[in-house]
Chains A and B, each alone.
Chain A
Amino acid sequence: MAVNREIIKFLAMVVVILVAPLLVHEGYLINVMVFIGIHTMLALALNLLLGYAGQISLGQAGFFGLGAYISGILTATHGINPWAAMAAAALFVTFLAFIVGFPILKLKGHYLAMATLGLGIIIYIVFNEAVEQTGGPSGLSGIPNLQVAGIVFDTDLKNYYLIWAFTLAAMGLALNLVHSRIGRALRAIHDSEVAARVMGVNARLLKVQIFALSAGLSAIAGSLYAHTMTFIAPASFGFNFSVELVTMVIIGGLASIYGSLLGAALLTLLPEMLRAFQDYDIIVYGLLLIVMTMFMPGGLVKGVPSALSRIRGKLQGRPVPHA
């Protein structure tokens, strides 16, 4: 019963996403929706780590960037097939995260936050300084589009379906994962790592594996980004973007797959709506982070229903149920 309802929920979302671009006739909006897809995948990857396992990473933009640059350099400079480049990027970044994951995830709380932040900044500095390979601050251009059986993904609409195919696959994978034994083990680590280990969960290995998975998914998103945009520059992969991803996860809802979609959609649309503010949108991000953490720590996905039920309870004069 519960499983069926999950499947129906997921299929309903798939239908909405398939139909959405047909209702939108503005090319610009479809472009925004392409970005929502990429951001959803990144938020999802971070949420597995942050929401489920309770381990923060402030270096996600680095993995995203590595995926983009590996794909970009292999195809634009070395003429390798884009799909092969994407696979290489995903494998390499997953492997790299797996190796550095062991020492990094031994750390907790603030130390973990600083270590991942440091890793992200080192990667960012390399993008800027390894000018011969990356083109430095001015970026890397001429990255080819992906293609399948003669279809070249070179328009917003085609890219929309390409990216959402990947994002939906990632969401399906994540939903499966969090409802499995692994998902329960992750939540156990979140609640108490020591208790989880006492119950026989190999916490250390599991944390590293989920970190590697998160990095690998981010790299695939990076590769898709590179082949969609055909141009990449370091500015897209800095510390600010890592923070933006954390914001998406927090606003949507920690430990919620659909929350990642909601957070990504909101934070992608927000700057578009706040055009007048230009780069002052970071003030809005800062405020959102503080206000959400203070008043709605479960994010919109959990906070809004519980606030509604509280209001309804008050209207009907019933005792207020605790969230």
Chain B
Amino acid sequence: MDLADQIAQYMVSGLSTGAIYALIGIGFAIIYNSTEIINFAQGELVMLGGMFTLFFLETMKLPLPLSILLAVLATIASGVLFERLTIRPLKAPTPLSLIIITIGGSILIRGIAMLVWGKDTHALPAFSGSEPIAVGSATILPQHLWIFALTGIAIVSNKLFFQYTITGKAMRACAVNRRAAGLVGIDVRRMVLFSFAISGGLGSLAGIIVAPLTMTSYDVGIMLGLKGFCAAIIGGLSGGIGTVLGGLLLGTLESLGAGLISSGYKDAIAFVILLLILFIRPQGLFGRAQTERV
């Protein structure tokens, strides 16, 4: 393979991991926009998606599509439960207490997953075989196509939900101004709960579709979560196209960096990008600067 072919190949895998990061990043953004919380437990929901699928598939012996559906629902329930038990009862939430509570939640979920499913790495079967398909000079796996398709569907339906449904509009109102939203009769606490449900759903979907490619274990949530956050930061914490582009950019840069420079430092690339963006353009590559109100 010459260099151009290699680069094409890295692009394919980079874009597919980038799509995963985008899904996770949108989950971050949805919660942030309705609550101003960065949910450090987001990555654990991604992990739960993969692990629940495995549980329904292998332990309960259910067919794959049903297992996936149940796994998404179970993860949504976990996200909602987490919000109800830890975040809602807080009387005077401060950014610091929210950071610490969500970190505590992420450790707790990870610990429980380790207790239930052990420390082993598990593979999920590919959704439709693993016969590579040649596209030009690069090859692409059927699972990559699943990732692109499902991510696309998830992002578009997410967009439609926020644009056209009354609940979606109410959630956007909460994002703009929680108090004003409350004054016009929107149940803000319910919208917060919805935001945890939606981001739990998106996160678990990400965890499920990536599991056949990268395997899954109790601790995959840390890195996936952090990189999803990275994507959201690049996108200026928007729940839309900014974060999608951020994810794709991050995935591609990471894949190219790992392939052409050093695979050992692959994970460091994402964090260097994260730091650079936070230092130079904290509002994200695609976001507008905000002025701080005192």
Contact = CB atoms under 8 A, between A and B. Distances in A.
Interface in A92-120: 103-104, 106-111, 113-115, 117-119
Nearest to B96: A56
A182 interface: no
A289 B265 contact: no
Contact of B99 (A110, A128, A297): A110
Given A125-B267, A239-B222, A54 B275 contact: no
Interface string A45-70: 00000100010101000000000000
A115 B90 contact: no
B129 interface: no
Contacts of A243: 103, 107
A11 interface: no
Interface stretch (A223-231, A266-274, A276-284): A276-284
Interface in A269-306: 279-280, 282-283, 285-290, 293-294, 297
Contacts, number: 116
Interface in B91-133: 95-97, 99-101, 103-112, 114-115
Given A280-B114, A286-B108, A293 B274 contact: no
Nearest to A285: B107
Given A54-B96, A129-B265, A294 B86 contact: yes
A289 B100 contact: yes
Contacts of B222: 239
B107 A121 contact: no
B106 A286 contact: yes
Contacts of A257: none
B267 A118 contact: no
A251 B177 CA distance: 34
Nearest to B279: A103
A279 B114 contact: yes
A122 B268 contact: yes
A126 interface: yes
A129 B105 contact: no
B42 to A, nearest CB: 12
Contact of A56 (B99, B108, B274): B99
A118 B276 CA distance: 11
A250 interface: yes
A126 B100 CA distance: 27
A194 interface: yes
A127 to B, nearest CB: 11
A58 B268 CA distance: 16
B272 interface: yes
A110 B97 CA distance: 11
A121 B267 contact: yes
A121 B99 CA distance: 18
B264 A294 contact: no
Contacts of B268: 121-122, 125-126, 129
Interface residues of B, number: 41
A34 interface: no
Interface in B29-53: 37-38, 40
A246 interface: yes
Nearest to B280: A103
Nearest to A290: B104
A125 B265 CA distance: 7
B271 interface: yes
A282 B103 CA distance: 12
A125 B262 CA distance: 12
Contacts of B90: 294
A110 B274 contact: no
A288 B109 CA distance: 13
Contacts of B115: 280, 283
A268 B274 CA distance: 33
A118 B111 contact: no
Given A109-B99, A110-B95, A115 B111 contact: no
B282 interface: yes
A109 B35 CA distance: 14
Most buried by A among B40, B267, B271: B271
Given A282-B110, A283-B115, A289-B107, A114 B101 contact: no
Most buried by A among B38, B110, B274, B294: B274
Given A111-B282, A114-B278, A115-B275, A293 B104 contact: yes
Contacts of B10: none
B231 interface: no
A286 B101 contact: no
B99 to A, nearest CB: 5
A289 to B, nearest CB: 3
A143 to B, nearest CB: 24
Interface of B: 37-38, 40, 86, 89-90, 95-97, 99-101, 103-112, 114-115, 222, 226, 229, 233, 262, 264-265, 267-268, 271-272, 274-275, 278-279, 282, 294
Given A246-B100, A282-B107, A282-B111, 5 more contacts: A56-B96, A58-B103, A113-B40, A289-B100, A289-B103
17 contacts: A103-B279, A107-B278, A114-B229, A117-B226, A118-B274, A119-B271, A122-B275, A129-B264, A243-B103, A246-B103, A250-B100, A282-B110, A282-B114, A285-B107, A286-B109, A290-B108, A294-B89
10 closest Cβ contacts across the A-B interface?
A289-B104, A286-B108, A283-B111, A286-B107, A109-B95, A110-B38, A118-B271, A290-B104, A103-B279, A129-B264
